[in-house]
Amino acid sequence: MKSAILILILLAMSQDNIRLIYDTKNQDNNNNWFVVDDGVMGGLSRGNTKLNDAGNLEYYGTVRTENNGGFSSVRYNFDTIDASAHTFMVLKIKGDGKNYQFRIKDDTSHRYSYITSFETSGDWQTIKIALKDFYPSFRGNTLNRSNFNGKLIEEIAILIGNNTKENFVLEIEKIYLE
């Protein structure tokens, strides 16, 4: 009995340090996702989103490299979050075995993002990324600025751009700070 109570207390304490950013169970926030493809530069890549049969957000499409193309991204805007009490960005996803970038904007008026890469396995994964590992980048170039300071977040994004023509599918269940 004592061990069960201790487990419940530890579980409750661990839940206190979680800040949900996106959860497919909250259908109201599915409209905050929008796709930005390389068409902004003349490319031909096409990304899309939909709620799949499992009720998860599915980001899918084709990356094409002709016409200076080569990327697709999906972005999610929300009210500013104070992330200073958190250390990690956590993604509950099912990928397709491809590499993706996860991006953070601390201010949506900035043209640059803080980015890091992650690899998908083809299975469901919980990917935990240290906020301090996000580095500043603009159009593929690392900027001479400090890494993400872990304070404010106004937008997140997932980008695929592996310098190759490819189809992609990424299923997103939940994204949160821990």
Give 98-154 pLDDT, tens digit per residue: 999 999 999 999 999 999 999 999 999 999 999 999 999 999 899 999 999 999 999
| Residues 39 and 61: beta-carbon distance below 8 Å | no
pLDDT digits (tens, 9 = 90+) for 66-87: 998 999 999 999 999 999 999 9
| Residues 13 and 51: beta-carbon distance below 8 Å | no
For 87, the 3-state DSSP assignment is coil
- Topology of domain 20-177 in CATH is Jelly Rolls (2.60.120)
What are the residue boundaries of the structural domains of the chain, listed by start?
20-177
Of the pLDDT bands very low, low, confident and very high (cuts 50, 70, 90), residue 8 is very low
Look at 135 and 25; give whichever has higher pLDDT.
135
List the one residue out of 75, 71, 70, 50 whose CA is nearest residue 60. Answer: 50
| Residues 36 and 101: beta-carbon distance below 8 Å | no
Per-residue model confidence (pLDDT) at position 16: 63
